[in-house]
C-alpha cells in the first residue's frame, strides 16, 4: 500500500533529513539574505535531478511530475529564513552565525520538504499529477516572501488546486499534528506613533504641553477600538510593547514614541479599525494641545484554511497517523505570510508537533532556547508526501 511505502521511505531517509536540518540550523540566515541556504537547497534539488526556478531572489520552485496521467497540481511550501536571536542552546548543531538563529523551525520545514521531495521522486511511477515544491524566503519580515513569490507567478504555470504548508508547534507532542478548518491565524499590522507636545521643567506644567499625559490618554482610549467598536465574534488584539518618553524625574520631553501591533481576522473590520485608531489618537492629541503622527504598516492578511481541503487533509492524516495523533486546533492570533497563499488559493496550513518534555524540548518559537524533537522529521516528510499524493487523487 502507498502509506506503508511512504512510511518505509521516510524511515530510510530520516538520517539524511536530520543531517540537512542540523546543517541549516548551524548556518541560519536572516530574511532576504538566505543566499547560502538557497544554494544548499539548490544543491539538494540537483542531486534529486529536479530542475528549479528562482523567485524572489532566494526562493526556489521545482516540479515533480507523476508518471500516471493526471492534470492535477498540488503545491507544498516551506520557508527558509531565520531570526535575529542569539541562540542559548548547547547542542552540536548550534548556530555558527552569532546573533542569528532558526528559532521558528524553518530549518525543520525546509529539511522536511527536501525529504518529501526525495520520497515523491522515488514514487513517480506510482502516482499521477504534479507536485510543486515552494522553498520560500523571508517569511519573518514584511512584505513577506510569499507575497513576492505570488507576484512573480509562483501559483501559475502550472496553477495548483491546493497549497499545503506545515509549521512546527512546540505545544504539541512530537508524533502528533493539528488542523483547523476556516479562519486560523490573524492579520498583523505594525503601529508606529509619535505624540508631540512641548517639553520643559516638570515643576512648571502650565508652561508645557505634556506628551506623556497625552500618550496615557491615547493608550487607554485606543482599547475602545477593540472593546467597543469590534464585533465580539471577531477576534481582535491591540497591544503596545514599546513606549519611549525620554525625559527625567523633572523633565517633560517634547515627544513620546510608541510601537504596537493590531491583529484580527476580518479584512473589512481591519480597514475600519485602522481609520478609527488614527482618528481617535489624532483627535485626543489635538484636544490636549499636542499632535500625533499615527502610522500603520499593513502586514500579512489573516490565514484561512479552506474547509473542504482541510477536512480531506485531516482525514488523510488520520489514515497515515491514526485518529489519536491528529488534533483539532483553536484559532491562533500569531501571523504567518502563508496567509497570502490562502487569500488567493485553496490552502491548508497545519501544525507539526515537536515537543518532548522528557528531553526539555518545550520552549516556544522565537526564543533563544527553541529546538525541535527531531523524531518528528520522519513524520513530517512522510505525511506531507502522503497528503500530496492523496490530494492529487491517487
Q: What confidence tier does 140 reach under pLDDT thresholds 50, 70, 90?
A: very high
Asked about 266 being catalytic, the answer comes back as no
Over pLDDT 90: what percentage of the chain?
A: 99
Residues 170 and 198 in one domain: no
Both 128 and 25 in one domain: the answer is yes
Domain end call among 265, 297, 329:
297
Confidence class for position 254, pLDDT limits 50, 70, 90:
very high
Q: Are residues 65 and 169 in the same domain?
A: yes
Pairing assessment for the beta strands 68-79 and 162-173 based on DSSP bridges: parallel
pTM of the model: 0.94
Has 139 been annotated as catalytic? yes
> What local confidence, expressed as pLDDT, does residue 242 receive?
98
Contacts of 366 (CB under 8 A, 6+ apart): 83, 85, 103, 104
The string of pLDDT tens digits covering residues 362-376 is 999 999 999 999 999
| Same-domain pairing of 269 and 130 | no
Do 133 and 250 belong together in one domain? no
* CATH code for the domain of 284: 3.30.70.360
**What value does the mean pLDDT take over residues 300-306?**
98
Q: What does residue 179 show for φ and ψ, rounded to 5 degrees?
A: -130, 150
Q: Are residues 25 and 117 in the same domain?
A: yes
Tens of pLDDT, residues 219-253: 999 999 999 999 999 999 999 999 999 999 999 99
Query: Is 31 in the same domain as 154?
Result: yes
Instruction: Name the 3-class secondary structure at 299.
Output: coil
Residue 126, SS3? helix
Q: Which of 29, 139, 189, 371 is catalytic?
A: 139
Indicate the residue among 253, 278, 297 that finishes a domain. Answer: 297
pLDDT digits (tens, 9 = 90+) for 268-299: 999 999 999 999 999 999 999 999 999 999 99
335: CATH: 3.40.630.10
Last-in-domain residue among 239, 263, 297: 297
Q: Which of 385, 367, 378, 364 is nearest to 172 (CA)?
A: 364
Q: In terms of domains, do 14 and 113 share one?
A: yes
* 157 lies in the same domain as 208: no
In Å, how far from its chain's centre is CA 101?
15
Spatial distance between the Cα atoms of 333 and 86, rounded to a whole number of angstroms: 25
Domain shared by 257 and 292, yes or no:
yes
Same domain assignment for residues 331 and 217? no
pLDDT tens for each residue of 173-202: 999 999 999 999 999 999 999 999 999 999
Ramachandran bin of 32, using left for φ above 0, alpha for ψ from -120 to 50, beta for the remaining angles: left
Q: Domain containing 251: what range? A: 189-297
Average pLDDT, the chain: 98
- Residues 244 and 201 both lie in one domain: yes
Identify the pLDDT of residue 305.
98
pLDDT score of 102 more than 90? yes
Residue 156's closest CA among 31, 55, 66?
A: 55
Number of domains in the chain: 2
Residue 394 has pLDDT above 90, yes or no: no
Which among 81, 189, 306, 346 is annotated as catalytic?
81
Amino acid at each position: 500500500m502507498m502509506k506503508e511505502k511512504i512510511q518505509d521511505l521516510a524511515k530510510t531517509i530520516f538520517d539524511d533529513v536530520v543531517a540537512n536540518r542540523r546543517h541549516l540550523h548551524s548556518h541560519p540566515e536572516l530574511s532576504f539574505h538566505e543566499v547560502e541556504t538557497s544554494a544548499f537547497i539548490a544543491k539538494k534539488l540537483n542531486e534529486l535531478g529536479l530542475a528549479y526556478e528562482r523567485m524572489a531572489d532566494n526562493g526556489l520552485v521545482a516540479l515533480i511530475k507523476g508518471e500516471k496521467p493526471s492534470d492535477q497540481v498540488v503545491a507544498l511550501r516551506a520557508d527558509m529564513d531565520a531570526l535575529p536571536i542569539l541562540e542559548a542552546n548547547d547542542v552540536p548543531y548550534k548556530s555558527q552565525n552569532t546573533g542569528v538563529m532558526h528559532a521558528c523551525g524553518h530549518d525543520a520545514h525546509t529539511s522536511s520538504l527536501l525529504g518529501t521531495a526525495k520520497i515523491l521522486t522515488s514514487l513517480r511511477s506510482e502516482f499521477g499529477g504534479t507536485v510543486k515544491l515552494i522553498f520560500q524566503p523571508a517569511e519573518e519580515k514584511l512584505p513577506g516572501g510569499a507575497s513576492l513569490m505570488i507576484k512573480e507567478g509562483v501559483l501559475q504555470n502550472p496553477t495548483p488546486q491546493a497549497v499545503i504548508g506545515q509549521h512546527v508547534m512546540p505545544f504539541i507532542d512530537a508524533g502528533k499534528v493539528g488542523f483547523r478548518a476556516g479562519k486560523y491565524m490573524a492579520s498583523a499590522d505594525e503601529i508606529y506613533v509619535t505624540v508631540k507636545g512641548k517639553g520643559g521643567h516638570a515643576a512648571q506644567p502650565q508652561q508645557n504641553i505634556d506628551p506623556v499625559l497625552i500618550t496615557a490618554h491615547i493608550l487607554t482610549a485606543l482599547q475602545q477600538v477593540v472593546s467597543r467598536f469590534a464585533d465580539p465574534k471577531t477576534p481582535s488584539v491591540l497591544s503596545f510593547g514599546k513606549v519611549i518618553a525620554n525625559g527625567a524625574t523633572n523633565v517633560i520631553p517634547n515627544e513620546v514614541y510608541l510601537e504596537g501591533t493590531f491583529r484580527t481576522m476580518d479584512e473589512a473590520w481591519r480597514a475600519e479599525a485602522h481609520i478609527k485608531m488614527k482618528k481617535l489618537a489624532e483627535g485626543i492629541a489635538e484636544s490636549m494641545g499636542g499632535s500625533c503622527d499615527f502610522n500603520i504598516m499593513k502586514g500579512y492578511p489573516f490565514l484561512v484554511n479552506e474547509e473542504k481541503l482541510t477536512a480531506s487533509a485531516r482525514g488523510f492524516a488520520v489514515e497515515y497517523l491514526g485518529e489519536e495523533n491528529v488534533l483539532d486546533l483553536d484559532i491562533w492570533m500569531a501571523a504567518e505570510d502563508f496567509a497570502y497563499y490562502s487569500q488567493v488559493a485553496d490552502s491548508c496550513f497545519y501544525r507539526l508537533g515537536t515537543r518532548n518534555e522528557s528531553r526539555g524540548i518545550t520552549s516556544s518559537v522565537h526564543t533563544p532556547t527553541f529546538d525541535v524533537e527531531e523524531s518528528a522529521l520522519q513524520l513530517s516528510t512522510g505525511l506531507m508526501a502522503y497528503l500530496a499524493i492523496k490530494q492529487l487523487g491517487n
